[in-house]
């Protein structure tokens, strides 16, 4: 957990070592847990996402070892990053089957996200060209540790369903948790992320739909909750600010560059559908397929699913997609896990899965969902 906190708080860093520290800590934690289970002769909890993550690691190793990559160093580095994914799914599956421990994790993540959102908004409106007002950075409009508004939005998308779920299951603190959810939605709107704003709105509607279909709440209570959320959300948006989002919504064709990048990425996939050009090689290979040049480096496809397939072939892309599809049922059953689906949806138009500070939490929660998949959401209290 501390490694993921560090990875989020240092996501802005351009130096490699902060990321390497987090990755090393996660891998060591995974190895230590595996050794602990072996020493106590405990049976591994084998789940679908764990098997899929392991198969993905094996596939990437085969690509690297066989030399089917245009940039060996980046490919071996990408393999190490996927081993971190495997470790996170493994840790989530084995450490958070216990309900009390899982509750502490979700509670901690929620308030960590709220704190990051609060700092981000203050910094957004009072910038000094430094991250946390301390560390020099090349952009002025950083959001806490996030230099990318879509990564910031995806990070908060994970927390919004947790806040709603806590409000549904803890009536004595319902106002507090619904207020936290509204504050998170306000921060996403203020960031100017168009996809993020659409996704948190969809999350909110879906959450209330699930609560209604599950029963347990009188209609009057549900209506009061919806009214309170709408009021608190409106206040949060008004305080946080909506002007940037409104300007970006009016800014012509939103997808003009993305469509061209996606078309080039599809050409990359068609050129090497089975093996791709090698894990981690998108930025290296993309210029050969580029359809436009605005003088900027295209380091990602702005669609994680296409990028994975272009780099490591359709088999690997399908393995990753299978992990996302597996998550649908337990995420809906849990309610709090809907944030995982939200980030997977966001990955169709951006790259939240490329940054450990966001993706690490997603894969950890996939593991937690694997531990939780045999259960149902706690009772919704009137």
Q: Within a domain: residue 211?
A: yes
Residue 303 structural domain: 2-258+291-372
pLDDT at 376 over 50: no
- The number of distinct structural domains making up the chain is 1
pTM score = 0.91
pLDDT for the residue 26: 96
Q: Within a domain: residue 234?
A: yes
pLDDT for the residue 107: 95
pLDDT at 381 over 60: no
**Band (217; pLDDT cuts 50, 70, 90):** low
pLDDT for the residue 154: 95
pLDDT for the residue 375: 52
Q: Within a domain: residue 156?
A: yes
Give dist(CA 262, CA 363) in Å, integer. Answer: 25
pLDDT for the residue 341: 96
Residue carrying structure tokens 């003088």: 295
**Band (239; pLDDT cuts 50, 70, 90):** low
pLDDT for the residue 93: 93
Q: Within a domain: residue 362?
A: yes
Q: Which is more confidently placed, 377 or 41?
A: 41
Q: Within a domain: residue 95?
A: yes
Give dist(CA 119, CA 153) in Å, integer. Answer: 14
Longest dimension (CA), the chain: 63
**Band (169; pLDDT cuts 50, 70, 90):** confident
If one counts every other C-beta atom within 10 angstroms of the C-beta of residue 9, the result is: 18
**Band (171; pLDDT cuts 50, 70, 90):** confident
pLDDT for the residue 127: 72
Q: Within a domain: residue 379?
A: no
pLDDT at 382 over 60: no
pLDDT at 366 over 90: yes
pLDDT at 72 over 80: yes
Name which of 148, 226, 214, 222 is nearest 181 in CA terms.
226
**Band (179; pLDDT cuts 50, 70, 90):** confident
pLDDT for the residue 22: 96
Burial 31-53 (b: 16+ CB within 10 A, else e): eebeeeeeeeeeeeeebbbbebb
Digit-coded pLDDT (tens) for 181-211: 888 988 898 888 888 889 998 998 888 888 7
Q: Which is more confidently placed, 168 or 244?
A: 168
Q: Within a domain: residue 271?
A: no
pLDDT at 380 over 70: no
Across residues 342-357, what is the average pLDDT?
95
Digit-coded pLDDT (tens) for 109-120: 999 999 999 888
Computed over every residue of the chain, the mean pLDDT equals: 87
pLDDT-wise least confident of 70-74, 145-149, 355-359: 145-149
pLDDT for the residue 234: 73
pLDDT for the residue 236: 67
pLDDT exceeding 90 applies to what percent of the chain?
54
Q: Within a domain: residue 343?
A: yes
Q: Which is more confidently placed, 190 or 279?
A: 279
Give dist(CA 70, CA 77) in Å, integer. Answer: 13
């Amino acid at each position: 957990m501390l490694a993921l906190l560090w990875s989020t708080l240092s996501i802005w860093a351009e130096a490699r070592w902060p990321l390497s520290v987090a990755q090393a800590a996660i891998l060591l934690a995974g190895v230590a847990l595996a050794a602990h289970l072996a020493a106590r002769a405990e049976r591994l909890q084998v789940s679908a996402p764990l098997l899929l993550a392991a198969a993905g690691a094996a596939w990437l190793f085969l690509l690297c070892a066989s030399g089917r990559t245009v940039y060996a160093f980046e490919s071996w580095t990408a393999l190490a990053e996927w081993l971190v994914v495997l470790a996170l799914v493994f840790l989530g599956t084995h450490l958070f089957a216990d309900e009390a421990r899982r509750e502490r994790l979700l509670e901690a993540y929620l308030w960590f996200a709220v704190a990051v959102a609060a700092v981000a908004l203050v910094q957004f409106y009072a910038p000094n060209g430094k991250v946390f007002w301390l560390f020099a950075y090349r952009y002025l409009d950083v959001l806490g540790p996030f230099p990318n508004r879509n990564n910031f939005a995806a990070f908060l998308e994970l927390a919004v369903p947790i806040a709603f779920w806590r409000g549904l299951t803890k009536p004595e603190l319902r106002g507090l948790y619904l207020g936290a959810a509204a504050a998170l939605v306000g921060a996403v709107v203020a960031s100017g992320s168009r996809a993020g704003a659409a996704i948190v709105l969809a999350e909110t509607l879906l959450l209330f739909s699930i609560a209604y279909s599950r029963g347990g709440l009188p209609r009057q209570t549900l209506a009061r909750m919806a009214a309170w959320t709408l009021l608190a959300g409106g206040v949060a948006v008004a305080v946080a600010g909506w002007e940037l989002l409104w300007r970006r919504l009016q800014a012509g064709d939103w997808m003009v560059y993305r469509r061209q990048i996606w078309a080039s990425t599809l050409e990359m996939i068609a050129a090497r559908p089975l093996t791709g050009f090698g894990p981690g090689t998108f930025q290296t290979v993309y210029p050969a397929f580029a359809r436009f040049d605005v003088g900027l480096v295209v380091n990602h496809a702005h669609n994680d699913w296409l990028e994975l397939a272009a780099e490591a072939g359709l088999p690997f892309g399908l393995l990753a997609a299978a992990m996302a599809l597996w998550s649908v049922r337990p995420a809906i059953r849990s309610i709090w896990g809907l944030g995982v689906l939200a980030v997977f949806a966001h990955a169709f138009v951006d790259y939240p899965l490329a940054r450990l500070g966001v993706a690490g939490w997603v894969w950890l929660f996939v593991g937690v969902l694997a531990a939780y998949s045999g259960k149902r959401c706690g009772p919704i209290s009137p």
